[in-house]
Amino acid sequence: MSKELFEKLTRAIIEGKDKDAISFCREAVEKGLTAKSVLEDGLMPGIRKVGELFSIGESYLPELLISGKAMQAAVAELEPLLNAGGGKFHAGKYLIGTVSGDIHDIGKNIVTMMLKGNGWEVTDLGVDVPSEKICAAIAEGDYDIFGMSALLTVTMPAADEAVKAITKAGLRDKIKIMVGGAPVTQEFADRIGVDGYAKDAFEAVNKAFSLTEKTRQPEERA
């Protein structure tokens, strides 16, 4: 049953049908499927396929855009599940943004929802965030962690530049830094000298807790 529903979701994303994506997501939630399974087994295979078709020239920017919109609509439908567990628990303060030159934000938004669902107070700087804006936010706020998202190989160097700018501004000891996004690896994270890397939003939440040595156990998390 759920396999069929996941396939419908995947197809809705590939075909960029946002209304279908929303209604299948709603159906999945009503059936009691978890946000994790809807994301990983329904939505992600669809958006990955769209990326593959784009990279081999079998689809173009408009398709990328409408599938991205369908993905955003579906994720919005899952938001109540993704950020359900926050309650009164205050895990810490998290600053997040997509690196300079990059406007991809669906993954960042999922990470944000998951963090909020696990008690983090999140400030989202948005997309295409210049280093100066990051440094100003870190200087003014009392954040525990700054997390960067990068989706393009050409914008990965912007993550490195942000770390260098934070260090140059004398702010590196003030904050832990994390990085993630489809082309990012642990090796890249090590190379640019950040404290943590996560391959997906679920891992990002666990990493945030471990970086700040918070005690909330994984089974208690959303």
Interface residues with ligand B1M (CB under 6 A) are 47-48, 50-51, 54-55, 61, 64-65, 68, 71, 101-108, 110-111, 147-149, 151-154, 178-183, 198, 200-201, 204
- Least CB distance to ligand B1M at residue 174 (A): 17
Instruction: Write the DSSP string, 9-69.
Output: HHHHHHTT-HHHHHHHHHHHHHTT--HHHIIIIIIHHHHHHHHHHHHTTSS-HHHHHHHHH
Q: CB within 8 A of 213, min separation 6: which ones?
A: none
Nearer to ligand B1M, 88 or 172 (CB): 172
Torsional class of 164: left (φ above 0), alpha (ψ -120 to 50), beta (otherwise) = alpha
Nearer to ligand B1M, 99 or 135 (CB): 99
Tokens representing residue 79 in the block = 């938001």
SS3 content of the chain, % helix, strand, coil (to 5): 60, 10, 30
User: Rounded to an integer, what distance in angstroms lies between the CA atom of residue 6 and that of residue 188?
Assistant: 33
What is Dmax (Cα atoms) for the chain? 55
- Least CB distance to ligand B1M at residue 48 (A): 5
What is the amino acid identity at position 51?
A: G
Nearer to ligand B1M, 9 or 151 (CB): 151
- Least CB distance to ligand B1M at residue 177 (A): 9
- Least CB distance to ligand B1M at residue 34 (A): 14
Nearer to ligand B1M, 1 or 122 (CB): 122
- Least CB distance to ligand B1M at residue 176 (A): 11
What is the amino acid identity at position 185?
A: T
- Least CB distance to ligand B1M at residue 114 (A): 8
Nearer to ligand B1M, 76 or 88 (CB): 76
* In contact, 96 and 125? CB cutoff 8 Å: yes
- Least CB distance to ligand B1M at residue 4 (A): 22
Q: Which helix (H) or strand (E) holds 215?
A: none
Nearer to ligand B1M, 5 or 50 (CB): 50
Nearer to ligand B1M, 1 or 99 (CB): 99
